[in-house]
Structures are given as structure tokens and as C-alpha cells.
Structure 1
Amino acid sequence: MPALLQPETLIAGLRPLAVAAPLSAVEQAYRQFYRFTDALAVRSCMGSLHAGGYQIVAQAWWPQESRATLVLLHGYYDHTGLYRHVIEWALGQGFAVLAFDLPGHGLSSGARASIGDFAEYQTVLQAVLVEAAGLALPQPWHLCGQSTGGAILIDYLLTGEPLAQIGETLLMAPLIRPRAWGWSQLSYQVMRHFVSEIPRRFSSNSNDAEFLDFIHHHDPLQPHNLPTAWVGALRHWVPRIEAAPRSARSPLIIQGEADMTVDWQHNLKVLQDKFAAPQILRLAEARHHLANEVPALRQRYFDFLSPRLG
């Protein structure tokens, strides 16, 4: 465990997010470990909230003058500490940012990288939006989700009742079906009777070699196993979301064509059917982890997003 990062001590000392107190020394060490500069934020806080039986760890940042808020949902195996590029871009746009670790991820409680039902993610998202209101975060609240975070937002838009405060929705390499989904389901049917998890295979899901080295070898918050329970929850969620009624909303979608994690061609067809005229940016060279792609690719999708968020 790196000396500067003390997850257990940090979690034990967390205050309710609504308190919005200055960062403690151990919270500042966490930010430094994940290379946040906070230079664009005049205030930030870190704390916890309870939702669906989980302790969820969330963080918020405010720029000098806030004109909207970005609510950020990370991808599977990820956590907020890996999303400084998106957070710093949002602060530069004049957006406050609210980000949180999903159950079983990062600093939040729960079996590592697992979930019993994708409906639990909706319970957590609803609780986070209540916190956004309690913090009086400026409206509109734009939603941004990478991969599984995108899946959660798709579910929210198609099957939930989006709040009036919600502005645009940004989907980055959104998950509906993963790549080789047929084979994955067959494997799940066999394995679930014998094992509760299998060793994770770290993939080259970005063109940024430094990022890949960090998550493969140096990030202590990375899960190292794939629980069969999560695959089972996804297996029940996919047909439900593909059968959901259409929405009049038009999300902004960014998709890398070198993505080897999700079945992006199928997923884009589903999203074009489910939403009214979604705006899609396809990046030929980009892999799956768009939030941590190389700077040139990040700049291309930031340039796409900025004028569309007003």
C-alpha cells in the first residue's frame, strides 16, 4: 500500500457529504495520490451518504462561478480518483462537479465490483441527486457516465422519472452489451455453479500507456476479480433495457471505434432506437476508457461537448 494513500483511515474519518467541510489531511493525501490539483476549484469536499444499505463516498468541487453542475458516474472497476481529466475540464467550463464511487468500487462499501441487481444502482443515483439538492448545486444538472456509469444513466432516462433539474446526458462508451456477450452468457451459466468470482484480466483499454501502467500495477483501489454475481445482474438487465420504451431525450454519445470492451456497434443501434436523435461522436482511434484516453483524443471529444452544453 503506498504510504501516502490510507483508504481505511480515510473511510473511517469521513463525515457526511452534506457537511461540506474542508478536506482533512488524509483526504488531501488521497487527492494528491490521484494527482488532482484542485487549481480550478475554489472549494471542494469529500464525504459519505447512505443509500440502499451502502455507504457511498462522494466528492464535490465548485469553480469560481458555477453556471451548472456535472454529475459524474464512473465505469466498472473504476472510481472517482481516476477521473481528474473530466473533472478539471468540467470546472474549466464553469460547472460544479459531483462524483461518487459506485457500490463495491473505490472507497464505497459493498462486495468488490459486485452488485445483486442493477436496480441498486438506481437507488444510489437517486440518493446522490438528493445530496445534489442538499448542497444547492447549480442547475441544470448535466449527467455524465463512462461505460457502466453510462448504463446506469441509460436506465435512469428510459425507466426512471428524470428530475426537472436534469440537463444534458453525456454517455462515454456506454455499456449495454459487452463484447462477445453470447459467449459471456454461456460461460456464466457454467461457472456460476462452481465459482463466485474469476481473476480479472486487465485489458489495454486506452492508448495512454502511463494510465494503463497505473491501473495495472499501482492503483490500490483496483478490484482484481470479476464476481459472477455482477455478470448475472447484467444478464438480467440487458433484455430489460433493450425492451424499455423510447425516450424523447437526446443524449450526447462518444464512442471509440477501437473499443474492445463493449459491443459498440450493437449498442449504438439500440441507443439510436431508444432516444430521439442522439448526437454521436465516433473516434476511430479511441479505445474503451475514454475518460483516460491520450490528450489529443480527450480534446476532440471535449471540443464536441463544450458547445453543446451551453
Structure 2
Amino acid sequence: MPERFIPDSVVAGLRPLAAAAMSLPHEQAYRTYYGLEKISAEQVRLGFFDAAGYRIAAQVWWPKAPRATLVLLHGYYDHLALYRHVIEWALGMDFVVLAFDLPGHGLSSGARASISDFAEYQAVLKGALELAKQLALPQPLHLFGQSTGGAIVIDYLLTGNPGPEIGQSILFSPLVRPRAWGWSKLSYRLLKPFVRQISRRFTENSHDAEFIDFLHNRDSLQPQCLPTAWVGSLARWVMHIEMAPPSPRSPLIVQGESDMTVDWQHNLRVLKEKFAAPKVLLLPEARHHMANESKHYRDQYFAFLTEQLRS
């Protein structure tokens, strides 16, 4: 494995997803570096679509006999190439997988790890759903979101008027409020006039030591700072979502009880008020990055998801 993967050639060579195919050497290098070549699929495409003024990098995997689609939204600081476990599970369920890098993340355009308004995330999600229609991906379209990706799914379910083509929603460690939110807001107000960003502090948010080592030391696509603009956008979004009307939908929620990133007890209370009887799987000792927790936890939540989606 090379010391670092240099993504510039992949970004420069992205083609519109509808016309793309995974064939160029730099695309294969990207897949190999992130272990995506281990995913068994009938067809794979890497390309981009345009939404909300961004060029959004996206990939699609097709199983042999697709019967539905999983639209995957990653967490803050993440990118889609880190979600191999979820992609493999979904393909095993005969779901097509449509995954994309959020603005400012991975191979997508935009200021790194920043956003001026969380409404832009909604525009990108709606662009992805329109892309699924253009590609004639099989319905229903199930939604999956980890952390901030979960926040985007929550916002869409509560305020986006999802249609009958939207199936189940899966929320991993969903963000409503981050941990120590009161202190974070105070820090933001004090820092905003003076700084635009602060250095990122990496944490051990999974029991998978190999994943943590890769994330901290070898992932070229990891942002290195926390922009204050993103924190301000989050503050406005929290007020927006906590005032949103309830939804009749019942998402599936997987939450670790050793999550030190989000205020998960508060978040679950909010989500139980906003949704009709959401089904919650609590995993004692599991940490925040549920999609890359150790195999012990993955086995438990994939069994739960498989049972729920097959029933």
C-alpha cells in the first residue's frame, strides 16, 4: 500500500455518473487504496453529479438481481470510501448502493468540512434522489445516514416531503445535538470574531484499531480542521430540526452507549418525539463511528437490520 493516496487525478478525471464506468487506472488505484475492490458487484460506476453549486462525487454498485436501492450518506469528516462494510451488507440484501461524498468531503468540491447552510445538504440529497430516478435504480429507495448523514436524513424525513418511493431509513449514531452542545455554542460565539477554523482533534471513536490507525495516519481525504462556519450552520440547523413537525415514519436507529461525539440520550428523546415508534438498537460500549465499529458490533446491528428489512 502506498504511504498516501493522492486524489487529485481522480477528481480531475471524474465523468458524469450516468456515462461513467470504473475503468481508468487512477480510479482503480483509488478503489484499491480504500479496499473498495474487495466489494463483489455486477457493475460499478464512479463519477459525479451537480447539485447546489457543487460537483458531487458518487459511486453506484449493482448486485446481480437488484430489488431495492440504498442511498448512503456518510458522517462529518468522512467520505463514502470508508463505508465498505455497509455497502457489502446492502449488496448482500440485493440492494443497489448509491453513495456520494458530501460537499467539502472526499472527492466532492467545496471548502473542506464546511457548509454555509445545512439546507445545501438537503439540495444535494434531493439531487442524489433525482439521479437515482435518472439511472432507473430500483425502488423503494432506502436511506442510510451515519451521524451528520443521519442528520440530513432526519431533516429530509421531517421537512422534505418524502414520497412513496422512499422506503426505510437507517440512522447510525444520528446527530441532533453534539455532546457538550452548550459549551460548543459558547466557544463558537467567542471564537467566531477571531478565527475561521480550529485544528481538528482526532478521537478513538471505534473499537476497530485498524480503522482508527488508517483514519488518523493514512487517509489522505481526512480534513484537518473544524471550520467555525460549519459550527454556525449546525447551530441554526439544531433549532430548525427541534422545531420541525413530527413525521409518521418509523426509522431504524442504531446507537452506541459509549458514543462521546453526540449527545445520544438527548437525541433519542427528540427522535422518539419526532417519529412514530422508531425501532432502536442500543449497543452497550459501542462508540460513535458505528459503520466502522469492530466486527462484534457489526454482526449485531447487521442482524437487526436484516431482520427488520426482510420483515
**TM-score surpassing 0.5?**
yes
State the SS of the aligned residue for 2:175: coil
TM-score w.r.t. length of structure 2: 0.98
For structure 2, list consecutive stretches of 5 or more residues without a partner in the other structure.
Answer: none
Find the counterpart in structure 1 of residue 261 from structure 2. 261
Q: Kindly provide the amino acid, as one letter, of the partner of residue 300 in structure 2.
A: R
1:40 counterpart residue number: 40
C-alpha distance in structure 1 between counterparts of 2:89 and 2:181, whole Å: 33
Q: Which amino acid aligns with 1:70?
A: L
Which residue is 1:50 aligned to? 50
Q: 1:254 to 1:39 in 2, by over 3 A?
A: closer
Is residue 80 from structure 1 mapped to residue 80 from structure 2 by the alignment? yes
Question: 1:179 — aligned with what?
Answer: 179
Residue 24 of structure 1 corresponds to which residue in structure 2?
A: 24
Distance 2:46 2:150 in 1: 23
Deviation at 1:220, TM superposition (A): 0.4
- Kindly indicate whether the alpha-carbon contact (under 8 Å) linking 1:6 and 1:26 is maintained by their aligned counterparts in 2: no
RMSD: 1.2
Q: Is the 8 A contact 2:4 2:219 kept in 1?
A: no
5+ unaligned residues in a row in structure 1: which ranges? none
Secondary structure at the residue paired with 1:168?
strand
Give the AA of the match of 1:121: Y
Partner residue in 2 for 1:234: 234
For residue 158 of structure 1, what is the aligned residue in structure 2?
158
* In 2, Cα distance between equivalents of 1:208 and 1:277: 31
Contact 1:23 1:44 in 2 (8 A): no
Deviation at 1:161, TM superposition (A): 1.2
Q: What is the CA distance between 1:135 and its match in structure 2?
A: 1.0
Alignment of 1:1-310 (within 5 A): 2=2, 5-310=5-310
2:179 touches 2:262 (CA, 8 Å); kept in 1? yes
In structure 2, C-alpha distance between the alignment counterparts of 1:243 and 1:8, rounded to whole Å: 41
Q: CA deviation at 1:265?
A: 0.1
What amino acid maps onto 1:65 in structure 2? Answer: A
C-alpha distance in 1 between matches for 2:73 and 2:204: 21
Identity of aligned residues (%): 64
Which range moved further: 130-139 or 150-159?
130-139
How does the TM-score come out when normalised to structure 1? 0.98
Q: Distance between the aligned counterparts of 1:15 and 1:24, measured in 2?
A: 11
Residue 70 of structure 1: SS of its match in structure 2? strand
Please give the secondary structure, in 2, of the residue aligned with 1:167.
strand
| Matched length | 310
Kindly indicate whether the alpha-carbon contact (under 8 Å) linking 1:143 and 1:169 is maintained by their aligned counterparts in 2: yes
Which 4+ residue blocks in structure 1 deviate beyond 4 angstroms? Answer: 1-4
Q: Is the Cα–Cα contact under 8 Å of residues 20 and 44 in structure 1 kept in the other structure? A: no
What is the rounded CA distance, in whole Å, between the counterparts of 1:292 and 1:163 in structure 2?
30
Instruction: Point out the more displaced range, 35-44 or 230-239.
Output: 35-44
**Do 2:5 and 2:219's aligned partners in 1 also have CA atoms closer than 8 Å?**
no
